[in-house]
Amino acid sequence: MNYIKWYIQLLFLVLKNSLWKDTKAIMKALSTAAAIIIGQIVLTNILYRNVFANIDTLDEMVKGLLNVFFFVAVIWIYLTSFVQSISTFMQKFYKSPDMNYLISIPLPLNYVFLFKFFEHIISSTKSMLFLFFPFLAALGIWVNAPLIYYISIIPLFTVISIIPCAMGVMVAMIGLRLVPAKTFNIVTPIFTFSINVTFAVLFTRVQDISTTYIVRLIEFLEKPWISDIIPVTGGIKLFYSAVIGEWSSYATLFLLITSLLFVYIAFISSRKLFFEGWAKNQHIESQIKKREAESDNYKDSSSNEIIQWVKAEWKMALRNYEMLVGSAFMLFFYLLAVFTFIYGGLFSNNPLIGVSLLITIASIFNIIAVSILFIPADITKDKNLWKNRYWLLKIMPLEGKKVFNIQCNMFFIPGYIISLGGIIAYSAVNGLSMHLILLSILSMFFILYGSSAIYTSSELLSLSDFFENNTFLGNLITIIFPVLYGFASAGGITLLLAKDFVSGIPIISNISAILNSTIVSIFSGATVATTFLISRLLFIRVWKKLEI
């Protein structure tokens, strides 16, 4: 107990220093919280209007559909938490920066594991709630849930995720003794991403489930004791009880007991497995591969500088398995839109609307998703270390304009290829003519290159002296600028094409009414060109003054 008390005091001290150490820290914490809350509210309203508001069902079927929604959500939480615990185990347990300190102090190693496990639960909840909370909150709006339901989403999510997290870390401890870490790092992020896409699509198609299965699920949940003892059905009953304003005491009790049992099993298992796995994965022998001698013409060619540098960065990004989950999460929004548009037949009468919406989404999310892979996991929490990525470019005899081109192409090419696949798939399914497909592809080329340019300059600008002292603002501009650019460059085209769809929205319909193809073309083209030129000029100026 003394170890746990010491650890809680340590966490409180870290929390105090990061949140309310001084006025600056308090303002940063409040502004971050406000941004997160606003983002969750916006996402919740988007999901409610586009998914749940369109579900028409009889009153007697609401209970059944609600339980099916919660069944899908709980299974989704279990699978995602389980796989994420495996995929992030190496980074958060064995490669964590504080592990050397924790290993060196006179502390039993199974307690070190327990402390890292609680940290993992907290960080996993924070990362996944950004995806799950809007779905669950939109579901509550659909059934007019009481306030207690929205308050209980976070604690219920945390409790439900304990069991799959414990199972995941136990599998990881055993698996890393038998299978190379590289296998876990490659397979599990892909599996996690596939799970998220699959269950997000299932969430939008629950109303198509046969009533027979819904009735069977309700009958099973109404059985006493059995549905309370099983953790999955217990989680469903807790969510449903919160919606109707009641509380299932037996389901809560059994879920807590089962969760503590799994944590205890993991705690006991870690006495032997944790340290052995940590020691095994500390030193990795480097294998130097022989390379064929390059010709003198290749070495002396200055025209290949950009290509060779970009290729080298791509190779390192492909090996950055720790950040693959974050990249896949950002890319999830675009792929979910593609799957939803194709599977749901959205805008099939006017596919150009769907294409323009996909280009808008791609310009906002895809470049950021690709750029995450180029950030080493060990510097994500320290903005000062980000500059070290540029030190080699800084000492090379390269002009700022060439460095800008390197960074732009580094993000743009993979982002464009990914976006291209979604546009072509949607256009082919909806029978868009070849010349319109080519026009869309060409338009997306310039729009995404502008998005890459503004993100590149925003990222470098966030490392300048002013934003280095105002870290939150520095992080904010790397998101706000690309979002504003995405709406300005491609949003006008979407608004013009979707006049009939937005006719009932007062402000947007008024703007849409004055738009025509000439105005939109000039405005979008001017936005892309101006953004690119300003971004390059800004990058060059900041690059000259940047000190590493």
| 23 domain residue, yes or no | no
440 and 494: one domain? yes
201 exposed, middle or buried (CB, 10 Å; 0-12, 13-18, 19+)? middle
457 and 396: one domain? yes
Q: How far is CA 329 from CA 127, 314, 336, 383, in A?
A: 10, 19, 11, 21
8 A C-beta contact, residue 166 and residue 266: yes
| 311 domain residue, yes or no | no
496 and 432: one domain? yes
Mean pLDDT, residues 519-536 taken together: 89
User: What pLDDT does residue 208 have?
Assistant: 62
| 60 domain residue, yes or no | yes
User: What pLDDT does residue 298 have?
Assistant: 42
| 291 domain residue, yes or no | no
Structure-token pair, residue 540: 């060059």
User: What pLDDT does residue 516 have?
Assistant: 77
pLDDT in tens, 403-441: 888 888 888 988 899 999 989 988 888 888 888 889 989
> What is the domain extent for residue 223?
55-282
Confidence of residue 446 (pLDDT cuts 50, 70, 90): very high
Total tally of structural domains belonging to the chain: 2
Can you give the length of the chain in residues? 548
242 and 380: one domain? no
391 and 461: one domain? yes
pLDDT in tens, 103-133: 777 777 777 788 888 888 887 777 777 778 8
249 and 393: one domain? no
268 and 325: one domain? no
User: What pLDDT does residue 447 have?
Assistant: 92
208 and 357: one domain? no
Calpha distance 453→461 (Å, rounded): 12
User: What pLDDT does residue 445 have?
Assistant: 93
Neighbours of 428 (CB within 10 A): 12
271 and 343: one domain? no
User: What pLDDT does residue 134 have?
Assistant: 85
| 25 domain residue, yes or no | no
| 299 domain residue, yes or no | no
User: What pLDDT does residue 470 have?
Assistant: 60
Whole-number percent of the chain with pLDDT over 90: 5
Mean pLDDT, residues 91-97 taken together: 74
| 22 domain residue, yes or no | no
207 and 89: one domain? yes
325 and 273: one domain? no
221 exposed, middle or buried (CB, 10 Å; 0-12, 13-18, 19+)? buried
343 and 432: one domain? yes
> Looking at 282, 300, 331, which one is the last position of a domain?
282
User: What pLDDT does residue 244 have?
Assistant: 82
Calpha distance 144→285 (Å, rounded): 58
> Looking at 282, 312, 346, which one is the last position of a domain?
282
Whole-number percent of the chain with pLDDT over 70: 74
| 504 domain residue, yes or no | yes
